[in-house]
């Protein structure tokens, strides 16, 4: 399982301020921490980055790779910024990953970059206008992305299909559909297609204290479905691995000695599997 450290995102205030001030300190500190916690790649999310995106992405890539021997996941909708990042990326630490192409025509040219720079690329299975309704629709989009990748000369081994994790607080039924999609994607090629998720989105909008719980248990369920990579909090995922056996036991119908843990896991799995309706206080019910 490849963990792509998610912490360097413009959404986080501290990171955003460091990006604006070009202050390497916080960026490198966070990059190093994620590496030590087990990340195999670092996500650099600079947002849409309309202005100065090229310079910012280059600065991010070099700033990160100065201190950690890892490849970078270039996360922006800005084509030029991605290309700029790819130009300075140090491939000695591994090949970069572009986040992302999709079925939106605006995002097709991203594949050109992947081919030109021999980069890996995430294929997000959404089109223009509207979200996929279920796993089948995600797979249909995946097939189109795969076909397009071949046209552009991007090998299928370099594609990570992303079914798009949605917030459980607003789109609960998609939690299970994403798991199904991960299974379907793998069947679509031999060797199996690689898959990736932006994991923490599952708990986006949920109260702070339950976010890690949802993230961890959802991660284990995705892992059991064959997930290859996750953009996630490496620290949380390391914890998840320690709890994996407990979760698997509950999934197998066993009773845990720790009753409180058992309840927490059961309630969370029920919410993920759509057996009970999500509410922020679901653990208290």
Partner 1 sequence: MALTGVEIFKLLPKTNCKKCGHPTCLAFAMKLAQRQASLDACPDVSEEAKKILGEASAPPIRSIAFGSGDKAVKMGEENVLFRHEKKFVNPCAFAVELKDSMSDDEINKIVDNVINSEIDRVGQKLRIDAICITNTSGDAGKFESVVKAVSANAPAVSLILSTSNPQAAEAALKAVADKKPILYGADESNADAMAAIAKNNKVILGIIAKGLDALTALTEKIKGLGVEDMVIDSGARTAKEILEANTYIRRAAIKKNFKALGYPVITFAQRDDKMLETLIATLGVTKYSSIVVLSSIEKWKDLALFTLRQNIYTDPQVPMQVEQKIYKIGETTADAPLTITTNFSLTYFIVSGEIENSKVPTRLAVMDCEGLSVLTAWAAGKFTASKIAQFIQESGIENEVAKKELIIPGYVAILSGAIEDKLPGWKVVVGPREANGLPAFLRARA
Partner 2 sequence: MAFVAPKETYSGKVFEVTIGADKTAVFGGENVLPFYSFEGNVPHKPVIAYEIQDVPPEDWPETVKNVYEGVSGDPVTWAKYCQDKLNAQAIALRLVGTHPDRENRSSEDAAKTVKDVLSAINVPLIILGSNHIEKDSSVLVAVSEAAKGKNCIIGKAQEGNYKTIAAAAMANNHKLIAMSELDINLSKQLNILITQMGFDKERLITDPMCSALGYGLEYTYSVMERIRLAALAQNDATMQPPMLADVGMYVWKIKETQASEADLPMWGSLKERGIAWETVTAGSLLISGAEFLIMRHPEAIAAVEKFIEELM
Which residues of the shown chain bind partner 2 in the complex (CB under 8 A)? Answer: 169-170, 172, 275-281, 284-285
Beta carbon nearer to partner 2, 20 or 279: 279
Report the greatest alpha carbon distance in the chain: 55
Q: How many residues bind partner 1 (CB under 8 A)?
A: 31
Contact 61, 45 (CB under 8 A): no
Beta carbon nearer to partner 1, 178 or 240: 178
d(CA 274, CA 175): 8
Contact 193, 161 (CB under 8 A): yes
Beta carbon nearer to partner 1, 98 or 142: 142
Beta carbon nearer to partner 1, 5 or 53: 53
Smallest gap from residue 171 Cβ to partner 2 (A): 10
Task: Enumerate the H helices of 123-210 as residue ranges.
Answer: 135-152, 173-187
Pick one of 37, 112, 137, 270: the residue that binds partner 1 (CB under 8 A).
137
Neighbouring C-beta atoms of residue 168, cutoff 10 Å? 25
* Residue corresponding to tokens 């201190």: 67
Of the chain, the end-to-end C-alpha distance in Å amounts to: 34
* Residues in contact with partner 1, shown as a per-residue x/- string from 39 to 68 under the rule CB under 8 A: --------xx-xx-----------------
Q: From the list partner 2, partner 1, none, pick the one residue 16 interacts with, judged by a Cβ distance below 5 to 8 Å according to partner type.
A: partner 1
Beta carbon nearer to partner 2, 108 or 282: 282
Contact 106, 112 (CB under 8 A): no
Smallest gap from residue 284 Cβ to partner 2 (A): 7
Q: From the list partner 2, partner 1, none, pick the one residue 134 interacts with, judged by a Cβ distance below 5 to 8 Å according to partner type.
A: partner 1
Q: From the list partner 2, partner 1, none, pick the one residue 172 interacts with, judged by a Cβ distance below 5 to 8 Å according to partner type.
A: partner 2
Structure tokens at 220: 């284990």
**Residue 78 found at the interface with partner 1 (CB under 8 A):** yes
* Residues in contact with partner 1, shown as a per-residue x/- string from 172 to 191 under the rule CB under 8 A: ------------x--xxx--
Pick one of 25, 136, 155, 207: the residue that binds partner 1 (CB under 8 A).
136
Contact 186, 218 (CB under 8 A): no
CA 201 to chain centre: 9
d(CA 100, CA 159): 10
DSSP class per residue in 25-50:
HHHHHHHHHHHHTT-SEEEEE-TT--
Smallest gap from residue 168 Cβ to partner 2 (A): 9
Nearest to 184 by CA among 240, 238, 146, 233: 146
CA 236 to chain centre: 14
Q: From the list partner 2, partner 1, none, pick the one residue 131 interacts with, judged by a Cβ distance below 5 to 8 Å according to partner type.
A: partner 1
**Residue 131 found at the interface with partner 1 (CB under 8 A):** yes
Q: From the list partner 2, partner 1, none, pick the one residue 279 interacts with, judged by a Cβ distance below 5 to 8 Å according to partner type.
A: partner 2
Structure tokens at 204: 């986006």
**Binding site residues, partner 1, CB under 8 A:** 10, 16, 47-48, 50-51, 77-78, 128-134, 136-137, 139-140, 142-144, 146-148, 150-151, 184, 187-189
């Amino acid at each position: 399982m490849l963990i792509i450290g998610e912490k360097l995102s413009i959404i986080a205030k501290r990171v955003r301020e460091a990006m604006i001030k070009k202050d390497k300190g916080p960026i490198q500190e966070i990059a190093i921490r994620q590496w030590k916690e087990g990340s195999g790649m670092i996500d650099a999310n600079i947002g849409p980055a309309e202005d100065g995106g090229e310079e910012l992405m280059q600065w991010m890539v070099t700033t990160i790779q100065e201190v950690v021997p890892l490849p970078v996941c270039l996360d922006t909708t800005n084509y030029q910024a991605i290309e700029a990042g790819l130009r300075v990326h140090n491939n000695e630490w591994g090949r970069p990953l572009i986040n992302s192409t999709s079925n939106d025509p605006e995002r097709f040219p991203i594949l050109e970059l992947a081919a030109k720079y021999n980069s890996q690329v995430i294929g997000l299975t959404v089109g223009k206008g509207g979200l996929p309704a279920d796993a089948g629709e995600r797979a249909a989009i995946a097939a189109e992305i795969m076909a397009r990748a071949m046209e552009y000369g991007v090998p299928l081994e370099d594609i990570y299909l992303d079914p798009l994790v949605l917030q459980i607080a607003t789109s609960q039924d998609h939690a299970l559909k994403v798991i199904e999609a991960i299974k379907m994607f793998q069947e679509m090629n031999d060797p199996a297609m690689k898959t990736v998720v932006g994991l923490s989105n599952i708990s986006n909008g949920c109260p702070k204290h339950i976010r890690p719980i949802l993230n961890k248990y959802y991660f284990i369920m995705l892992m059991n479905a064959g997930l290859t990579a996750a953009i996630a909090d490496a620290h949380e995922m390391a914890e998840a691995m320690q709890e994996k056996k407990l979760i698997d036991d509950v999934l197998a119908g066993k009773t845990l000695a720790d009753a409180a843990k058992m309840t927490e896991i059961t309630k969370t799995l029920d919410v993920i599997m759509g057996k009970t309706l999500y509410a922020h206080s679901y653990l208290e019910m």
